[in-house]
Structure 1
Amino acid sequence: MAAPSVVVIGAGLAGTEAAWQVAEAGLDVQLVEMRPIRRSPAHHSSECAELVCSNSFGALSSDRAAGLLQEELRRLGSVVIQMADRHAVPAGGALAVDRGRYSASLTQLLEQHPRVSFVREEQIALPATDQVTVLATGPLTSDALAEDLRRFTGRADCHFFDAASPIVEGDSVDMTQAFRASRYDKGDADYINCPMNREQYLGFRDALLAAEQAELKDFDQGNATFFEGCLPIEELARRGEDTMRYGPLKPIGLWDPRWGDVNDRDVRRAKRAYAVVQLRQEDKDGRLWNLVGFQTNLKWGEQKRVLQMIPGLEGAEFVRFGVMHRNTFLEAPALLDATLQFRSRPNLLAAGQITGTEGYAAAVAGGWLAGTNAARLVRGERPIDLPRTTMVGALTHFISEAPSGKFQPMPPNFGLLPELPERIRDKRARYGAYRDRALADLLLAREEQALGNVPCPA
């Protein structure tokens, strides 16, 4: 094979999809994968698109966020999702696969493609600046390449990040118990505050201490020195009865006007909260809210049970549960456009979990878009992005536009989509309306943009 038109680094879900899209566009692609020459602690084989955790892509129904993303990818011609459908196993309402046969089939498909060449070695630095490249190395990017990325971006926040707090849908917070305010009324009322009395606080602490934790894999232990700056909430609870109250649950300076006049000393003494859980806005539209300081290593079922003890969160809908693990990802809002191109080097694109998306289908979506745009760049065509009303477009726009500095990985969820023209109270009907709009807009985008031949501007 001649010099490749595109280099794809990493043969995980995103890299597999990206390489396929480039090859199917009629261009030569070099797929670089360090396994089996060098294995990561999470992988068990050298196959493409190995599923290292669950074998499930999430809910299959298209009126669920993960299912809508899968359906969009089917309609965009995703090879990874098509192969998942082919190797599906019974899993209730989820798309789950026989992971061994699934990965082997994708590996064979790429190995037999005349436009794909495999290079089995560790990529320790980014290719030359004139080479169109897709970076799809995932959350376990090798140390050497991660260091080169830091040099290239000039940012220390291309980093190992140890923790992420749970995120809930704002509409699911009970505002008859919670209230909007900033501490000491400084600035706008930017936080949702969930107050606790002493009895509620102590019961919550006891539940945290008794809850079952998830087991950290060996490769997570290396970041323990970073944990002091973002300790799990259950670890804070273990350090003393009042530790949380002097940390993320500090009630000082927070007052609900419904309690009475804050300037009345007797009212303030009688009504003030013993502890307050704060939620910080996660997206531009204020539909997603992060539990401040609530990074946790509890099992997901335990998180839901314990966190729903917080007043105002009894019916909370969780978009993401808290996690603690080693995770390399880019500060995407400062670096990437919604086309997944680096702003400072447009012929370098990123895809998959390294961009700050979470979940298998989200990684595939990034691979599809980065591979499609890499091929378009080689052909002299304008890169595309998809409408925000689609789940693929919502994810890529989110990671390119989210507030920088506090950026954390995001899974697909309906909170990322623009509001519907009319409010629909029934949740199932509302999600169905999101789906219908997304698929209609995706069809229009394919006709007007993705399948067009739009030259790059001079």
Structure 2
Amino acid sequence: MNPEAHSTLTIIGAGLAGCEAAWQAAQRGVSVTLHEMKPEKFSPAHHLPGLAELVCSNSLRGDSLDNAVGLLKEELRRCDSLIMKAAEATRVPAGGALAVDRQLFSAYVTGKINSHPLIRLEQGEVTALPATGMVIIASGPLTSDSLAETITGLTGDRLYFYDAIAPIVAASSLDMTKVFAASRYGKGDGDDYLNCPLDEEKYRRLVDELLAADKVPSRDFEKIIHFEGCMPVEEMAARGVETLRFGPLKPVGLCDPRTGTEPHAVIQLRAENRERTMFNLVGFQTKLTWPEQRRVFRMIPGLEQAEFVRLGSMHRNTFINAPALLLPTQQLTTDPRIFFAGQITGVEGYVESAASGFLAGLTAARLLQDQPSLVPPPETALGALMAHITNADVRHFQPMNVNYGLFLELPGRIKKKERRQKLAERALVALEEWRAKVAA
């Protein structure tokens, strides 16, 4: 390859994947041009001017090795991930989960990117790809229409699903005589969440109102495909009266100190910032109209006078048919100088997006420096995730969070909790062996 043609790595999109990719490449001595269309242009779901904006939630989910995303976090920590450093520096109490102050998180990443001597940030919409040189497309699930058309020319038909955002309320507007602080099973500090208890009558009325409320209509030409991990609350309610009570409103592990008993159902509120001045309605992603959100959600005990800092909304997420299009390195099979990274590949979740960006940045840097690519072993969370998006069924490919079901099986019959522990132990051993090869 002509050295001048690949002297700089171009990355399109400065979300979690793009920023992680830029950081990893620059840390390995590669000059990076990072493109971000904000603040010149915003997607329907983005509002902050900074990089690495968290849109759906401020939670990066579980932080324990009992779940696969906790293992993926640990692998990224050991690999010097910028996103994980930002999360640790800006975390807020969230029980057994890793949640962050989203404004401080964005500011941390933005500062690191802007101060790196090998990263040049260019702001403004990109509508076409460079004709030469290595490119990482990390434009995210809310890729602009113009760039999406360019990508369609490379990949063929786009796939999509709808994603929903939960509302945020001001803490000062909550009625604390009806809300109690507690974490499920006492995890974390024991009071990381605020809880709105519902008896059976209030629960059933809430379900009825969710079903009857006005929803934002979809456009006629768009088929609605919801991602199971971010299902609108009213869609879950439509599956049966008990669905929410066994889902995001489950009361298990929570005791109302006022009654000494477990409520019939519980709506949890998670802190949005360190000052705990704003709270997110956990599991209440929605496509209700804004007036209906105010009406229905103020039926929740403690939220009668709620001030909504942000109301819920719906947006379409674009992703490619990765197993039909990408090599295990996330390079385009028809043009290996082009990588895809982040949620546009079909990985779902903040941590997964950062992991995809980490691997794209690492691999691009190695190739630019005439080193072989090194795909992480399938025993690791990184490897299992990449194996899924590049080897899944092409005909039925859908976005996926990392989970232990993606991992290579262990021999013999093992109990679930012990199995996860052994999978995590095996993964971290394999990760260290891989890291040694990367560093050699």
TM-score, normalising length from structure 1? 0.66
What letter corresponds to residue 161 of structure 2 in structure 1? Answer: F
Deviation at 1:322, TM superposition (A): 11
Deviation at residue 105 of structure 1 after TM alignment: 1.2
Partner of 2:53: 50
Asked if the contact 2:68/2:402 (under 8 Å) is kept, the reply is yes
Residues of 1 paired with 2:213 and 2:26: CA distance? 40
Deviation at 1:27, TM superposition (A): 1.2
2:236–2:244 CA contact under 8 A, matched in 1: no
Q: Does 1:330 align with 2:314?
A: no
Deviation at 1:422, TM superposition (A): 2.3
Q: Which amino acid aligns with 2:46?
A: H
Aligned to 1:239: none
* 3-state SS, counterpart of residue 30 of structure 1: strand
2:359 alignment partner in structure 1:
369
> Which of the residues 66, 75, 78 maps onto 1:75?
78
Check the 8 A contact 2:10/2:32 in 1, yes or no.
yes
2-structure distance, mates of 1:217, 1:70: 36
Task: Select which of 221, 224, 230 maps to 1:225.
Answer: 221
2:436 to 441, 444, 447: 447
Q: Contact (CA 8 Å) 1:373, 1:383: kept in 2 or not?
A: yes
CA contact (8 A) 2:347 2:400 kept: yes
**What does residue 337 of structure 2 align with?**
347
2:407 to 417, 434, 443: 417
Q: Tell me by how many angstroms 1:7 deviates.
A: 0.5
Deviation at 1:340, TM superposition (A): 0.9
Alignment-mate amino acid for residue 19 of structure 1 = A
CA deviation after TM superposition for structure 1 residue 337, in Å: 1.3
- Deviations along 1:146-176, one digit per CA (max 9) or x if unpaired, are 11111122x11x2333489xxxxxxxxxxxx
Structure 1 position 30, deviation (Å): 0.4
Q: Which of 136, 146, 169 matches 1:134?
A: 136
Aligned partners of 1:162 and 1:226 also within 8 Å: no
Aligned 1:21-170 pairs, distance under 5 A: 21-128=24-131, 130-153=132-155, 155-156=156-157, 158-162=158-162
CA distance in 1, matches of 2:215, 2:13: 22
Deviation readout 1:359-392 (Å, 9 max, x if unpaired): 1000000010000011011111111211111111
- One-letter code of the match for 1:306? T
Write the distance in 2 (CA, Å) between the matches of 1:123 and 1:373.
23
Structure 1: where are the runs of 5+ without partners? 165-205, 233-289, 310-319, 453-458
Q: 1:424·1:430 contact (CA, 8 Å) conserved in 2? A: yes
Aligned pair in 2 of structure 1 residues 74, 300: CA closer, same or farther (>3 Å)?
A: farther
1:346 offset after TM fit, Å?
Answer: 1.0
Gaps of 5+ in 2: 165-203, 247-282, 287-313
Q: Secondary structure at the match of 1:398?
A: helix
CA contact (8 A) 1:223 1:326 kept: no
Q: Which residue of 2 aligns with 1:306?
A: 243
In the aligned structure 1, how far is the partner of 2:214 from the partner of 2:61?
Answer: 22
CA contact 2:321–2:397 (8 Å) conserved in 1 = yes
1:320-354, CA deviations, whole angstroms, 9 ceiling, x for partnerless residues? 99998511000001101121111111111111100
Task: Quickly say closer, same or farther: Cα 1:216–1:56, change in 2 above 3 A.
Answer: farther
- For residue 214 of structure 1, report the CA deviation from its aligned partner: 12
Change (3 A) 1:357 1:6: same
State the distance in 2 between where 1:308 and 1:90 align. Answer: 24
Between structure 1 and structure 2, the one with the greater Rg is 1
Residue of structure 2 equivalent to 1:391: 381
The alignment's TM-score, normalised by the length of structure 2, stands at: 0.69
- One-letter amino acid matched to 1:161: F
Alpha-carbon distance between aligned partners in 1 of 2:385 and 2:214, rounded to the nearest angstrom = 28
SS in 2 for 1:41: coil
Q: Is the 8 A contact 1:135 1:348 kept in 2?
A: yes
Matches of 2:391 and 2:377 in 1, distance apart? Answer: 14
CA contact (8 A) 2:160 2:225 kept: no
Question: Compared with structure 1, are the counterparts of its residues 152 and 43 closer, same or farther at alpha carbon in structure 2 (3 Å cutoff)?
Answer: same
Distance 1:211 1:411, change over 3 A: farther
Structure 1 pair 297–77 and aligned structure 2 pair: CA distance change class (3 A): same
Change (3 A) 1:21 1:214: farther
The answer to whether the 8 Å contact 2:7/2:368 transfers is no
1:119 Cα offset (Å)? 0.6
Q: Are the aligned partners of 1:214 and 1:297 in contact in 2 as well (CA < 8 Å)?
A: no
- Structure 1 residue 406 displacement after superposition: 1.3
- SS of match in other structure, 2:85: helix
SS in 1 for 2:394: coil
- Which secondary structure does the structure 1 equivalent of 2:338 belong to? strand
Specify the alignment match of 2:420 in structure 1. Answer: 431
Name the CA shift for 1:60/1:132 in 2 (closer, same or farther; >3 Å): same
Separation (CA, whole Å) in 2 of partners of 1:215 and 1:383: 52
Report if aligned partners of 1:300, 1:321 keep a CA contact under 8 Å in 2.
no
Amino acid at match of 2:35: V
CA distance in 2, matches of 1:5, 1:132: 8
Aligned length: 332
Tell me how far apart the structure 2 counterparts of residues 216 and 148 of structure 1 sit (CA, whole Å).
36
- Matching residue of 1:182: none
Structure 1 Cα separation of the partners of residues 346 and 88 of structure 2: 25
Matches within 5 A, 1:199-238: 210=208, 212=210, 223-227=219-223
CA distance in structure 2 between the partners assigned to 1:399 and 1:416 by the alignment: 10
CA drift at 1:225: 2.9
